Amino acid sequence: MKLKQLLSVLLAFTVLFSVMTACGSTSDEPDSAVTTSSTEAEEEAVTVDRDNTYAYDEDAPSLYEAFAQWFKVGTAMNISDLVEGTEEFEILVKQYNVFTLENESKPDAMHPSEDVYNFDALDQLVEFANEYDKTVRGHTLVWHSQCPDWFFYDDDGNTVSADVLVERLIEHVTTIVSHYKGEVDVWDVCNEVLGDSGGLRDSMWYQIIGDYDGDGDSYDYIEIAFTAAHEADPDARLIINDYSLESSESKAISMYMMVKSMLEEGIPIDGIGLQMHVDIGFDVETCKNNVEILMKLKSIDPDFVIEVTELDLSCFTWSDTSTEVELTDEFLEQFDSLYSDIFEMFIEFSEAGYLDSVVFWGYYDGMSWLNGYPVSGRTNYPLLIDRDYKLKSAYWSLIDLAESKS
């Protein structure tokens, strides 16, 4: 008799325990819990607490998978983030499928003096990308910033001639692009060539090389760079990258005119990179208008595309000089819905055949260049993952958007 009683008590406990396990802990479920499908059993539902999900959690969604039908989603990162087994590594693998080095593939890092090339960092990124089936963007071959002086001066400190700089430019582009032939999928060949008041930036490249072929325009250093890159790797996608194209109509028109002229001359440019360092005052309609201007280039090359190359959404407008912002519910609502509007626009661009990939300039708030720039001592929150690697509400608004559009 005693044994029978014991058995029935045990049975009751077993039943109760399995019911509790199947339902999850019901007593303290958070308000914001959502249901997602489990990999264990399709019918069984598990809960994800949106306020407490880390970007590397197994149950967390994947941003690049959520938008895979429209475009790739990537991030800038540093090679020190690629240590297997770390949270950073897990986040990168799980959330993104395009990668670019934030600083380590710029001219000063890759080609610090005439006879020295540093391929280590980008080699490691390429190796990672091959193993995990990711895309690599090379950023950047030619730029006025983070470019060492040796390009422009001789041993006596005098400015070199156009012939010498052209030779150095071709050598630089050819050596780097050939090294990564078939491995780096996309190159930002030239970065920020336009000035803020329209027309070409008054850089050393422009000043020294100028109208080298005497055809009446001074796009020559850009033309030489793209031609050399294409010869070194005919399959790489070659991008001309710049800022404010999404917000300044006059800059978008300057870009359009310049690229049109080069495409008509047969210069191998495959697309325009919109950096998209935008802020809380961003206007989606202006961006759509400007992209329509740029995409008129499809009449010359139907495969011409735009890429979003450096997306972040500053919590401060450009003219704001404050260092702190209060993340009130109202502010976050505005921030999240702006991110959502921006991605809805990206979906439209993709459906129109314009957009190939969206790359963030960093993957969590703590690493963003916008902390301390352009206002020193500033703390900013421009990305989708917070300083503790938790998914922010803006992240979830994008996941909801992708689901609603699927």
Residues that bind ligand XIL (CB under 6 A): 102-103, 191, 275, 310, 369
Q: Which is nearer to ligand XIL, 166 or 193 (CB)?
A: 193
Residue 53 or 275 having the CB closest to ligand XIL: 275
Give 144 or 260: the residue with its C-beta nearer to ligand XIL: 144
Nearer to ligand XIL, 135 or 368 (CB): 368
Cα(first)–Cα(last) distance of the chain, in Å? 61
State the minimum distance, in angstroms, from the CB of residue 23 to ligand XIL: 46
List the catalytic residues.
192, 242, 310
C-alpha–C-alpha distance, residues 354 and 273, integer Å: 12
**Strands 98-101 and 45-49, sheet pairing:** unpaired
- Report angle CA 320, 273, 295 to the nearest 5 degrees: 110
Given a contact cutoff of 8 angstroms between Cβ atoms, the answer to whether 313 and 382 are in contact is: yes
Q: What is the DSSP string of 19-52?
A: HHHHH---TT--TTEEEEE-SS-TT-EEEEETTS
**For ligand XIL, which is the closer residue by CB, 223 or 312?**
312
Helix pair 284-294, 329-351: axis angle to 10 deg: 20
What lies within 8 Å, CB to CB, of 203 at 6+ separation is 144, 193
Written as one string, the DSSP assignment of 343-395 is HHHHHHHHHTT-EEEEEES-SSGGG-TTSSSSSTT-----SSB-TTSBBPHHH
Counting every residue written for the chain, the total comes to: 406
The residue of the chain with the least Cβ separation from ligand XIL equals 369
CB-based contact 245:288 (threshold 8 Å) = no
**Distance in Å, CB of 239 to ligand XIL, minimum:** 11
Q: Residue 276 CA to chain centroid, in angstroms?
A: 9
- Least distance in angstroms from the C-beta of 368 to ligand XIL: 8
Q: How near is the Cβ of 160 to ligand XIL at its closest, in Å?
A: 25
CA nearest 277: which of 332, 239, 250, 316?
316
Nearer to ligand XIL by Cβ, of 46 and 109: the residue is 109
How far apart are CB 146 and ligand XIL at their closest, in Å?
A: 6
The position carrying tokens 């006059």 is 250
Q: From the CB of 249, what's the least distance to ligand XIL, in Å?
A: 20
CB of 78 to ligand XIL, least distance (A): 9
The backbone torsions φ and ψ at residue 376, rounded to the nearest 5 degrees and listed phi first, read: -70, 145
Task: Identify which of residues 176 and 401 has a Cβ nearer to ligand XIL in the complex.
Answer: 176
Q: How far apart are CA 365 and CA 80, in angstroms?
A: 17
Nearer to ligand XIL, 89 or 369 (CB): 369
User: What is the rounded CA–CA span in Å between residue 285 and residue 300?
Assistant: 25
Instruction: Give the chain's count of helices (H) and strands (E).
Output: 12, 11
Tell the smallest beta-carbon distance from residue 309 to ligand XIL (Å).
Answer: 8
Nearest to 339 by CA among 405, 285, 393: 393
Q: Nearest 5°: phi and psi at 254?
A: -60, -45
